[in-house]
Amino acid sequence: MTAARVELWHLGPGADVRPVLARRVGADPSALAWDLGPHGKPGPVEPGGLHWNLSHSGEHTLLALSPDGPVGVDIQRVRERPDPLAAARRFLPAAESERIARAADPREAYHRALCRREAWAKADGRRLLDVLRLTPRGVLDLDAPPGYVAALAVTGGRAPLLRHVSKGSP
């Protein structure tokens, strides 16, 4: 299996991604363009064909860039749920629900399972509802601030190879 190179940016809330994208493709920010897929996922940046995806939750924003193909990223705040195990049993595969039931923190495990699927759906250009009962492939759990979970995904069953991590504003 080949790996997909991915650059991950941790940006502040409301950050403008155009300067980062422009720097990576060597173009003026105002010259950048991309199409949106049927479910709103941005296509590759033109000029340059750089694949990218963005996620934000609370005060945290993640931007993933890949020259090797579609990429998806997700960050979620772990929220209070009346019964995360009931939700897992309703929406996720049985094996995943059982893993969540055995987890030290079922609430965090449930959110991590959703986060992985959201990143995978975004990389593949699908909706979360399309992948809830499937097992994600090509997904890497990311370090996240306390109270959050984050994941990164690439397509084609490849493994994401995190090449660079940047923190702060572009």
Q: What's residue 97's pLDDT?
A: 96
Cα-based distances in Å from 148 to 58, 66, 109: 9, 23, 11
DSSP class of residue 13 equals T
Task: Identify any residues that bridge with 55 across adjacent strands, giving them in sequence order.
Answer: 62
Task: Report pTM.
Answer: 0.90
- Strand segments, DSSP code E, in the chain are 3-11, 51-57, 60-66, 71-77, 139-142, 148-154, 159-167
Which range in 36-40, 87-91, 165-169 is most confidently predicted, on average pLDDT? 87-91
Sheet holding 148-154, edge to edge: 71-77, 148-154, 139-142
Cα-based distances in Å from 123 to 65, 96, 139: 11, 21, 10
Domain edges within the chain: 3-167
Q: What's residue 169's pLDDT?
A: 54
CATH class as words, domain 3-167: alpha beta
Question: Rounded mean pLDDT of the chain?
Answer: 90
Could you report the per-residue pLDDT of 62-90, keeping only the tens digit for each?
A: 999 999 999 999 999 999 877 999 999 99
